[in-house]
A and B are shown apart, each in its own frame.
Chain A
Amino acid sequence: MSTDRTPRTLGLILAALLAFGQWLPQWTLFLVTIALAKGLVVLGLMILLRCGLVSFGQALYYCIGAYAAGLLGRLFGLSDVFTLMLAGMAAAALAAFALGFLLARYRSIFFGLLSLALSMILYGLLVKTEALGSSDGFHVLRTTLLGIRPADPWVRYAVLAAAAVAATAAALLVHRYLATPLGKLAPAIKDNEIRVEYMGASARHAIHVKYVIAAALAGLGGALAATTVGHIDPEMAYWTTSGEFIFIAILAGTGSVIAPFLGALVFGIIQTVAFDVSPNTWQMVLGSALLVVIVFLPNGLWSLFRRRKAA
């Protein structure tokens, strides 16, 4: 651990994705882009997990991001992928800033369940809002990139490239943030909050900041998912979506900012393969995978890399 390898690794992954992405088959492009989107959400979850908070309502911001992106296209005809991502991020961060005043007071299971309640309220509202297509949702405009309309075979690659750039930037920023004093407060809050207060730091303030960051990342991921899938519906705010994110977070582990993306990719692959092999029992496969990881790799898939390095 003498030198920080994370930025270099991230750069290499980005370069590889940009260089080889165009030769990947379309379905892989889709899989990787969705994994990047979910990875962003999980990156936010990881920040919260580091201080011992598990949000069962991260789907709230995922959904807000997606709907913000979709509405921009629907109301103003905007379809530039970077604009949409920024909008999703801003909308989610704003909502989190307001809700954070309430949520930063809660810990452990109450934090989780309150955030779950909030996301279910959004779900209920969206299902009953006919202007937004109620439970069917609506289609998102075809993506453009910085004013250019990529030709059909290139759309997926363009979105992937945008997603990869955004994800790398986000991962680097979070990596930086984790090294700041505020970022380093997280494990301290997890261990013993009273002592944190004795040291003169405000746990509530730190959690509020982390909550907003996590939400911004989730909004970014949501906007990205909206442009990738091309369709959004209230299901994105349902608690099972949040469950999926936590699933990925545990699968990946909190060891590094790269872990969430790896976890999301592995999750996507397991899900796709399980659907393919046994369409009726894919939940069983997922559940078993989660159990196996919790039992044998308590620190997530990321610990595999750690161990190899140490050996």
Chain B
Amino acid sequence: MKIVNVTHGSFYALGAYAASSITGALLAQGMPPSLSYAVLLGSALLVTLVVAPLIERGILRFMYAKDEVVILLITYALFLILEDVIKLVWGVNPYFIAEPYGLLGSFDVLDLTYPYYNLILVGVAIVCGAGLTWLLGSTRTGKLLVAVIHDTEISRAMGINVERMYLFTFTFGSLLAAIGGAFTAPTVSVVPGLGVEVIVLSFAVVVIGGLGSLPGAALGAVIVGLVRSATIHYLPQAELFVIYLVMAMVLAFRPRGLFSLAEARKI
């Protein structure tokens, strides 16, 4: 959509907070732990469907005519606001829910212990990625979306309901962020500042991959993950900036990222 959305980090944090608090509360009520995975997903859905349309309809939709960079700043402003809203709603104490993580136990790969839960994470990611590829490439909605991205005015003239596409895209994108947050929540302690960490990292991922490219984003995420773990293992001093180093290197040689899309120049 040509929107660089900083609020995405907030949705990640929102997803994590909603998932850990709702799951935690239900577990305390005596819900069987095996249901907690569905609850994780459900809480991500719930929080996005409430907050995302509110933001899109209430604020963002008046802003699309503005410059890309101004939109980025608007989402940055919203991010600042949501950061404090999260603190107001959930307080500043960390949340833990270990049940979904502990329930599955772990298995051994060679002499490393590897938790089954991480396999679920990988599975969720693959399902989301595949679903999104299918949605964008093979459905009517996806094709309309590509048209809208390419030229909003012509799309509107062709009778596409552009407003609804924007709403749908924003909500759907935010949902993915919230799902990411919700399923990561059991592996970490959910604390304020979660969104700040993840948003810069995900910018690095999409820039490495090429903005707007799905395979690029997937590859970028794998690169970032591998490089980061390798660095933590071999050269812990460099952990903080290695991702940015990779990003700078990729941009230096492929100025628009690895899988950059060809773009029509308007003279």
8 more A-B contacts (CB under 8 A) besides A124-B241, A287-B80, A290-B74? A110-B256, A116-B203, A117-B248, A124-B239, A124-B242, A284-B84, A288-B77, A294-B70
Shortest Cβ distance from B267 into A: residue: A194
Shortest Cβ distance from A115 into B: residue: B248
Asked if A287 contacts B77 (CB within 8 A), the reply is: yes
Assuming the contacts A246-B73, A287-B77, A291-B77, asked whether A280 and B84 have C-beta atoms less than 8 A apart, the reply is yes
Offer 19 A-B interface pairs, CB within 8 angstroms, sorted by A.
A109-B4, A113-B247, A114-B251, A117-B245, A121-B241, A121-B248, A123-B241, A124-B242, A194-B267, A246-B73, A247-B76, A250-B70, A281-B87, A284-B81, A287-B84, A288-B81, A290-B77, A291-B74, A294-B73
Q: Please report whether the interface of chain B is mostly helix, strand, loop or mixed according to DSSP.
A: helix
Asked if A124 contacts B74 (CB within 8 A), the reply is: no
Asked if A283 contacts B240 (CB within 8 A), the reply is: no
A108 lies within 8 A of chain B by Cβ = yes
Q: For residues 284 through 298 of chain A, which have their beta carbon under 8 Å from a beta carbon of chain B?
A: 284, 286-288, 290-291, 294-295, 298
A284 to B79, CA, bound (A): 9
Contacts of A283 in B (CB 8 A): 80-81, 83-84
Contacts of B207 in A (CB 8 A): 110, 113
- Distance in Å from the Cβ of A308 to the closest Cβ of chain B? 24
B158 lies within 8 A of chain A by Cβ = no
- Selected from A117, A288, A294, the residue in CB contact (under 8 A) with B247 is A117
- Selected from B79, B204, B245, the residue in CB contact (under 8 A) with A287 is B79
Assuming the contacts A106-B251, A120-B200, asked whether A128 and B81 have C-beta atoms less than 8 A apart, the reply is no
Q: For residues 1 through 24 of chain A, which have their beta carbon under 8 Å from a beta carbon of chain B?
A: none
B69 lies within 8 A of chain A by Cβ = yes
Contacts of B4 in A (CB 8 A): 109
Q: For residues 178 through 207 of chain A, which have their beta carbon under 8 Å from a beta carbon of chain B?
A: 192, 194-195
- Selected from B83, B203, B237, the residue in CB contact (under 8 A) with A128 is B237
B78 lies within 8 A of chain A by Cβ = yes
A124 to B242, CA, bound (A): 8
Asked if B74 contacts A128 (CB within 8 A), the reply is: no
Asked if B244 contacts A284 (CB within 8 A), the reply is: no
B46 lies within 8 A of chain A by Cβ = no
Instruction: Report the interface size class on chain A.
Output: 35 or more
Contact with A along B228-267 (1 / 0, CB 8 A): 0000000001111110110110011001100000000101
Contacts of B255 in A (CB 8 A): 105-106, 110
B85 lies within 8 A of chain A by Cβ = yes
Asked if B80 contacts A284 (CB within 8 A), the reply is: yes
Q: Which of A239, A287, A288: most chain B Cβ within 10 A?
A: A287
Assuming the contacts A109-B211, A194-B267, A287-B77, asked whether A120 and B244 have C-beta atoms less than 8 A apart, the reply is yes
Contacts of B237 in A (CB 8 A): 128
A192 to B85, CA, bound (A): 41
Shortest Cβ distance from A249 into B: residue: B73
A127 lies within 8 A of chain B by Cβ = yes
A112 lies within 8 A of chain B by Cβ = yes
A102 lies within 8 A of chain B by Cβ = yes
A112 to B67, CA, bound (A): 14
Q: For residues 121 through 164 of chain B, which have their beta carbon under 8 Å from a beta carbon of chain A?
A: none
Contacts of A114 in B (CB 8 A): 247-248, 251
- Distance in Å from the Cβ of A98 to the closest Cβ of chain B? 13
Contacts of A286 in B (CB 8 A): 77, 80
Contact with A along B165-178 (1 / 0, CB 8 A): 00000000000000
Shortest Cβ distance from A54 into B: residue: B69
- Distance in Å from the Cβ of A58 to the closest Cβ of chain B? 14
Asked if B68 contacts A108 (CB within 8 A), the reply is: yes
Q: Which of B76, B238, B239, B256: most chain A Cβ within 10 A?
A: B76
Shortest Cβ distance from A53 into B: residue: B69
Contacts of B51 in A (CB 8 A): none
Contacts of B83 in A (CB 8 A): 283-284
A102 to B73, CA, bound (A): 25
A53 to B201, CA, bound (A): 22
Contacts of B203 in A (CB 8 A): 113, 116
- Distance in Å from the Cβ of A140 to the closest Cβ of chain B? 24
A109 to B72, CA, bound (A): 10
Assuming the contacts A114-B248, A246-B73, A280-B87, asked whether A287 and B78 have C-beta atoms less than 8 A apart, the reply is yes
Contacts of B22 in A (CB 8 A): none
Asked if A240 contacts B240 (CB within 8 A), the reply is: no
B109 lies within 8 A of chain A by Cβ = no
Contacts of A118 in B (CB 8 A): 244, 248
Shortest Cβ distance from A122 into B: residue: B241
- Distance in Å from the Cβ of A251 to the closest Cβ of chain B? 10
A134 to B113, CA, bound (A): 34
A94 lies within 8 A of chain B by Cβ = no
